[in-house]
Amino acid sequence: MRRETKEILLRVIDLCETVRKRGLDPFDVEVQEFFDKLREILPRLKRREDLYLDIQALLSLAGVIHQQEEWVKHRSSMLYLDPLLIALKLQAMPARDLAEIFVRSWHPIVELESIAPPGISEAKRYWTDLPPLKERHGELKSTEVGSEEIDSQELSRMGILSTEEFENLMHKTWEELWKAVGEDGEVPYWDFISAPTFEETVKRAWLVSFLVSYGYAGIELRPLEDEIILIPSSMPQRRKEATVSIPISITKTEWLERREHGRERHRGSEGEVS
């Protein structure tokens, strides 16, 4: 528990420092959410170094609030127009006024491409020197290729599944997802896809990507906790087209690190129980 708490504090400090050093928009930082998180973990802080990290995280968030104040002052001095106000004004304008503004600001670029006379002469010589169409393929020989039947075992070995088999595989994975969720109806992404081998882990991640894309499950990103959460749908209703795309890279090195971290956490839990 102490390691996870320390990681949260360091992540808050690093995020605030990144906003300060790179001049990013300070309003992208969810200050209230981070304060609530710090208030939640404060009673669990016992060591002096953890309390120092908590103070540094509070000071970093206070610095972000100061940046937000300076940001507002700067925008106000420049008579800055918020994009939302502009969008609302555009929605309220009549279509005729919008068309007139478009015509006044439209400056099309005209480009004309043409071939020079030498190029036309070269093309003419090329087509003139070509032999007749019936004589061009005289040297080509055709070879008949017979068709052979591939049995289901060979198709399975090649990894080619029918639509029905794929649907059954997705439904089976969806049922496994429901069995893996806790009382809150969710399960960490890495906990669900982790398998004894790297190949099996990649396969489960591939199946989960289809579950999310076709509506069998939802996915939630929690950057503060550095977690990805899977939430199964109550009924598997497949969409006609994939509408969600969240790339998640899986390397063998990361798989080994997470697997080793899971073993250490499991041994730590056994030690606490004993």
Highest mean pLDDT among 38-47, 92-101, 104-113, 127-136: 92-101
Q: Which domain holds residue 46?
A: 2-77
Q: What percent of the chain has pLDDT over 70?
A: 74
Domain stops at, among 62, 77, 92 = 77
What's the mean pLDDT in 21-42? Answer: 82
Handedness of CA 118, 124, 128, 133 (dihedral sign): positive
Give the pLDDT confidence of 58-100 residue by residue, as tens digits.
888 888 888 888 877 776 665 566 676 677 788 888 999 989 9
Longest dimension (CA), the chain: 92
Per-residue confidence (pLDDT) for residue 76, from 0 to 100:
64
Residue 105 lies in a domain: no
Q: At what angle do helices 48-77 and 2-22 cross, to 10 degrees?
A: 30
One-letter amino acid at 10 equals L
Quote the pLDDT of residue 57: 86
Domain CATH for 190:
1.10.10.580
Domain count, the chain: 2
Neighbours of 50 (CB within 10 A): 17
Question: Token match 């959410």: residue?
Answer: 33
What is the rounded CA–CA span in Å between residue 98 and residue 106? 12
Q: What is the mean pLDDT of residues 43-62?
A: 84
